[in-house]
Amino acid sequence: MRYLTFLLLISIELTSCQPKAKISVIENPMTGFTPMLADSIRGAATVQELGNYLFLSLKGEITYYQLEKFFPDSANIAMIYELTQTGVKDANLAAIADTAQSQLLHGWTKTQREVSMLGENWTDATFTKLLIQELENQTLPGKKITIECKSGKQTLRASAKCLKIGDRWFIGEEIKFGV
């Protein structure tokens, strides 16, 4: 039940409003980027960095389990409850985090599978654009990111909804193939 409450909070947080029409586009987002997975800091410093890590995981250059560093854990979820002024008294934060990570794994796996069903793969893809769509009227800052890649003549896209917890960015919901 607490997990459903958490999902409701995140869903309201990320989807209760209509996204702004404003979309920022970053061409060649990997330019100058160096992955830093060895440190213990969770989350990404910027949305662009978060998009780069999502791409690297789909491409197979980092594992899905390394990508989990960019999903909210129980401490991040506790911070969400605090920032949204929702009580955490009876919440099982570890179970909520596990369930959220399981759902993100499902989306990530489905994204991989849908690309292979097209006869394509992320391994040969080049990350050409990152589209960042602002989400408005939220307690926590939120954005939808879409990575756009070229694989041969095919354009591949994957998207995720992200949220800022403290000063770090996390994939909070819906890793999907396409837009």
Q: pLDDT of 110-150, one tens digit each?
A: 998 898 888 888 998 999 999 999 887 777 788 999 999 99
| pLDDT band with cut points at 50, 70 and 90 for residue 19 | very low
**What does the buried/exposed string (b/e) look like for 23-43 if buried means 16 or more CB atoms within 10 Å of the residue's CB?**
eeebeebbeebeeeeeeeebb
pLDDT over 50 at 45, yes or no: yes
pLDDT over 60 at 31, yes or no: yes
CA 38 to CA 66: how far, in whole Å? 10
More confident residue, 166 or 11: 166
Nearest to 53 by CA among 160, 178, 164, 177: 160
